[in-house]
Every structure is written in C-alpha cells, then in structure tokens.
C-alpha cells in the first residue's frame, strides 16, 4: 500500500527546514514518497509580493535533487484557481487510488485553525495529519491537547512528530537576501545560485495578509460543517470598507423627509436607460419582491424597492470600470476580489446608487451631505447583496433574498428558498424565516463555488454564514 506524504506551501523560497521536515516524516512513518506541492494562488498571501510559481517550482526541483523519496508536484501551481487543501487531496486520491494512504505534513500550529479550512471535515477524513512540534515545552503539550480534541470531535487521525526547532523561514531568507546578508547553508547551494541568477528577492518583506487566521470566526463546535477556506483572506467579519459600513449610511446626514418626496418612477426610468433589458426585468422583479418582503418583515417598503431597482446598476460594467468606480467612491478593493471582479458590482453599485439618489434627493428639495454612497440601509443592502456580510442589516437581508427568489429565478435553490418563506406570518415569524433563508442561500452558494472550483469564495459570505448559523441555532432553541 502506497503511503504518500504531502508537504505544501509557497516555498518562497524552499529552505533546509522544509527538506529536513520531509525527510524525518518519510523516515518516521515509512512513507513511499513525499510530494512537495508549491501553491499556485493562495489568497491568504499577497499575490503581488509572491514570486511567480515557475521560479518556486524550479527552486523546489533543484532543492530535492536526486533524493528518490522526494518529488515536486505542479498540481496546484498549474491550476489557475485558488488552491484549497480538500481539492488537492481529492486530486491526489484520484491519482494514487483509493488504497493509498495520504499523510499531510504540517506544523503543529495549524491544528489551532484547521477547522477554519473550507470542507475541513473532508480534509480530516481524507488523510493522516503529521503535526511537527519541538519536543518538550508548551508547543508539544498544546499540540497534544488539540490533537485529542480534533480526534474526539471529528475522528481526525493525527500523528505528533517531534522535530527540532529550526530558526529558518522563507521570510527570513527573503529579508537576508534583499539586505545582502549571507544565506549559505540555509538553503541548498543550487537554490541560492538560482536566486542569484534570476535576481529574486531584491526586495524582502512579508507576503502574508495580516491578521488572516485571527479574523476568521470559528465554526460552531461539533456542527460537522465547513469552516472558512484554508486559502482564504483576512477580513474582520464586519466589513471595514466604506460601501459596506453601516456607519456610512447615517440618516442624520440626510433630510429624513426625502423618502416620501422622491419619485421612484423616475429612478426606474433612469435604471431602464442604463442597463440591458433582461437585467432591467430582473431588477423590476427584485424591486417588487423586496417591497413585499419588507412589508412583511417590518422594514420600509419604499427603501426596499429603491434598493431592488438599483442593486444591479453596475452589474454589466467591465472590470476596469468597476475598479475605478470603487476607488473613486473610497472603497478599497482587496487583492482577492481581483480574482473575480464581478463581485465588485455590489460596492460599485452602492456608490453609483448614491450618485443617482443624490440627484433625486436634491430635485425633491432634500439634501444629503454624505454623497459617496447610497444613504443608510439602501447602500449597505446594495453593497453586500452578492456576497453578504457579517451582521447584515434587515434591508440587506431582504435584498439578498429577493435577488434569489424573484419570480424570474427558476434555479432549484430559488424554488426551495421561496418555499421556506411561504406561509410565514408578518412580524417575528417572518424575521426568523428570513434569517433561515439567508443562511440557506449562503450555504448553497459557498457549496456551489467550492465544488465548481471558482477562484473566489468571498470571506464575507463565510463570515455571514458562520454568524447566522449561531443566530438560527439560538432561534430554534427558543
């Protein structure tokens, strides 16, 4: 039976610590081979700072040399999509067959956040974890406790491997090389020569996105569901960008009387002149659905209608226009959003909606000092109607659901969502059903994106999903 070791990472650059770790794991557990798998698109890293994959793959190839146990795999580096551990394990299972044993080699620190991996149950079920830790001291004790908890809660198979602490890291090498310091014996000579020949690491610096793991909420204990993606990005859970921050939609900055005065028919005509006919028909459906749902849930139907008709105002804009619109309105585009720029039509739409509404507010004799975004909940709803966000406001939830259940949507998930909301009574029952439906749609969307290999599962979706799980669970207990 083949026993395949897996050592993944950016290897930017590979160093002797990686080689020593792989060699000891192969020796201790009788591995047939160890695959070094340089990652292709790890969104928890700043892609603008990562060395191109072709260089990192070649450095690993040079580092492993003629060692018959070591092999470099381009499984992730050849893939244009984001690299996820569960997907890599799936691919390896197909390559080596159901009888192979897969051993995933990690540092023991990964045990602290492995439940935040996307499809983490699938990861734990698919392989044996070899978690390395320095013998003795708190690291090994902590690793032992975590291993026991993961084994008890999820049936994880974890081997703790004693491994000496080696004060060498890829970031240290980059810093030393950029500073002109000696790095000989920290990496194989062939790797150091390759770096010099290709002029790599002239500039050092950290490639990680700050606060990545710390910012991701834990899944519900024992829920058996998936956490956030292991190649995700850092996000606070409550979006700190202007277009999503409810603090930027403050009614104190707007004349509260304008809502009754503004002529929604004029806005409908404006939208009709700006977007394709098919998109306009969808927006009309969303407008009507959102207004009806708002009335049932105790929200302002006119605000819901305005959010509905305006939500896709930027949906058909090209990537460059979306990025420019976001930047002009103060929304900071994150690196990972560039992997799927279509998501930017939501914050860009909030910004454009603000401009449209400002015009009609002023024509109606009102005034609004904060003009970058659509005012109050309307802007929040439009800004997060695609990915969602943690602590979504009521109108945001209404628009998020309406976008999927409007009569023109005939997806299976849309039909099921409509069934979930049907028969709900106005008031608290409608609010509970709304939360359950938002959660259902978020989970189905994340599941679909993961299975289809989409380049981006937006962290805002995962944060919203995780928080709503708890809220829905609490509602069911009362």
Range of the domain at 343: 242-477
Give the domain CATH number at 192. Answer: 3.40.50.620
Reduced to 3 states (helix: H, G, I; strand: E, B; else coil), residue 16 is helix
Same-domain status, 138 and 30: yes
In a domain, 66, yes or no: yes
Same-domain status, 26 and 169: yes
The confidence score (pLDDT) of residue 233 equals: 25
In a domain, 48, yes or no: yes
In a domain, 136, yes or no: yes
Same-domain status, 211 and 252: no
Q: Tell me the average pLDDT across 79-107.
A: 87
- Closest to 372 (Cα-Cα) out of 241, 242, 240: 242
At 18-63, the pLDDT tens digits run 999 999 999 999 999 999 999 987 756 666 678 999 999 999 999 9
Residue finishing a domain among 196, 215, 234: 215
Same-domain status, 263 and 354: yes
pLDDT(159) > 90: yes
In a domain, 220, yes or no: no
Same-domain status, 203 and 287: no
Q: How many CA atoms lie within 13 A of 117 on its CB side?
A: 20
Distance of alpha carbon 417 from alpha carbon 434, whole angstroms: 10
Reduced to 3 states (helix: H, G, I; strand: E, B; else coil), residue 39 is coil
Same-domain status, 174 and 270: no
| pLDDT confidence tier of residue 80, bands split at 50, 70 and 90 | low
In a domain, 230, yes or no: no
Same-domain status, 379 and 267: yes
Same-domain status, 292 and 418: yes
Same-domain status, 192 and 93: yes
Q: What is the pTM of this model?
A: 0.51
Residue finishing a domain among 215, 232, 255: 215
At 416-468, the pLDDT tens digits run 999 898 877 776 788 999 999 999 999 999 989 888 888 888 888 988 888 88
Tally of structural domains, the chain: 2
Contacts of 279 (CB under 8 A, 6+ apart): 312, 315, 316
| pLDDT confidence tier of residue 369, bands split at 50, 70 and 90 | very low
Question: Given strand 157-162, what is the order of strands in its sheet?
Answer: 70-72, 33-38, 3-9, 101-107, 128-133, 157-162
In a domain, 73, yes or no: yes
Same-domain status, 207 and 311: no
- Closest to 385 (Cα-Cα) out of 254, 283, 274: 283
Same-domain status, 378 and 445: yes
Q: Is the peptide bond before 13 cis (omega within 30 degrees of 0)?
A: yes
In a domain, 62, yes or no: yes
In a domain, 236, yes or no: no
Angle at the Cα of 7 from the Cα atoms of 93 and 173, rounded to 5 degrees? 155
| pLDDT confidence tier of residue 354, bands split at 50, 70 and 90 | confident
Q: What share of the chain is helix, strand, coil (3-state, %, to 5)?
A: 55, 10, 35
| pLDDT confidence tier of residue 365, bands split at 50, 70 and 90 | low
Give the domain CATH number at 330. Answer: 1.10.3210.10
Same-domain status, 364 and 439: yes
430 contacts 407 by C-beta, under 8 angstroms? no
Q: Which helix (H) or strand (E) holds 64?
A: helix 53-64
Q: Tell me the average pLDDT across 366-370.
A: 49
Q: In a 10 Å sphere around its CB, with 0-12 CB exposed, 13-18 middle and 19+ buried, how is residue 271 labelled?
A: buried
């Amino acid at each position: 039976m083949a026993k395949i070791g897996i050592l993944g990472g950016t290897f930017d650059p590979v160093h002797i610590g990686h080689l020593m770790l792989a060699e000891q794991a192969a020796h201790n557990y009788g591995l047939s081979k160890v695959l070094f798998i340089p990652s292709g698109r790890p969104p928890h890293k700043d892609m603008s700072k990562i060395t191109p994959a072709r260089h990192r793959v070649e450095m690993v190839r040079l580092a492993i040399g003629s060692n018959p146990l070591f092999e470099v795999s381009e499984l992730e580096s050849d893939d244009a999509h984001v690299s996820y551990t569960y997907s890599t394990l799936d691919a390896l299972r197909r390559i080596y067959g159901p009888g192979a044993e897969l051993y995933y080699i990690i540092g023991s620190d990964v045990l602290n956040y492995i439940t935040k991996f996307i499809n983490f149950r699938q990861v734990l079920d698919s392989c044996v974890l070899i978690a390395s830790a320095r013998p003795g001291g708190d690291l090994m004790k902590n690793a032992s406790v975590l291993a026991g908890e993961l084994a008890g809660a999820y049936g994880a198979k974890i081997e703790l491997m004693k491994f000496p602490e080696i004060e060498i890291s890829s970031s240290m090498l980059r810093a030393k090389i950029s500073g002109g310091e000696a790095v000989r014996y920290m990496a194989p000579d062939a790797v150091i020569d390759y770096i010099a020949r290709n002029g790599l690491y002239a500039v050092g610096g950290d490639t990680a996105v700050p606060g990545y793991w710390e910012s991701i909420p834990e899944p519900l204990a024992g829920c058996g569901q998936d956490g956030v993606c292991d190649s995700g990005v850092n996000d606070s859970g409550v979006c700190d960008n202007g277009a999503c921050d409810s603090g930027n939609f403050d009614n104190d900055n707007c004349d509260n009387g304008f809502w009754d005065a503004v002529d929604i028919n004029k806005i409908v005509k404006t939208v009709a002149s700006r977007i394709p006919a098919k998109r306009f028909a969808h927006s009309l459906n969303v407008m009507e659905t959102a207004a009806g749902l708002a009335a049932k849930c105790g929200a302002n139907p006119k605000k819901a209608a305005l959010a509905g008709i305006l939500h896709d105002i930027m949906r058909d804009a090209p990537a460059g226009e979306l990025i420019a619109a976001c930047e002009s309105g103060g929304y900071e585009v994150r690196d990972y959003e560039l992997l799927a720029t279509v998501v930017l039509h939501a914050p860009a739409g909030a910004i454009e909606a603000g401009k449209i509404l400002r015009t009609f507010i002023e024509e109606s004799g009102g005034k609004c000092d904060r003009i970058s975004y659509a005012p109050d909940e309307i802007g929040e709803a439009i800004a997060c109607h695609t990915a969602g966000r943690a602590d979504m406001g009521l109108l945001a939830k209404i628009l998020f659901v309406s976008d999927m259940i409007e009569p023109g949507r005939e997806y299976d998930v849309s039909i099921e969502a409509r069934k979930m909301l049907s028969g709900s009574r106005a008031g608290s029952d409608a609010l509970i059903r709304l939360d359950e439906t938002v959660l259902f749609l978020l989970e189905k969307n994340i599941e679909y994106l993961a299975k289809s290999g989409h380049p981006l599962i937006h962290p805002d979706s995962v944060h919203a999903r995780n928080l709503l799980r708890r809220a829905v669970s609490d509602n069911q207990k009362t």
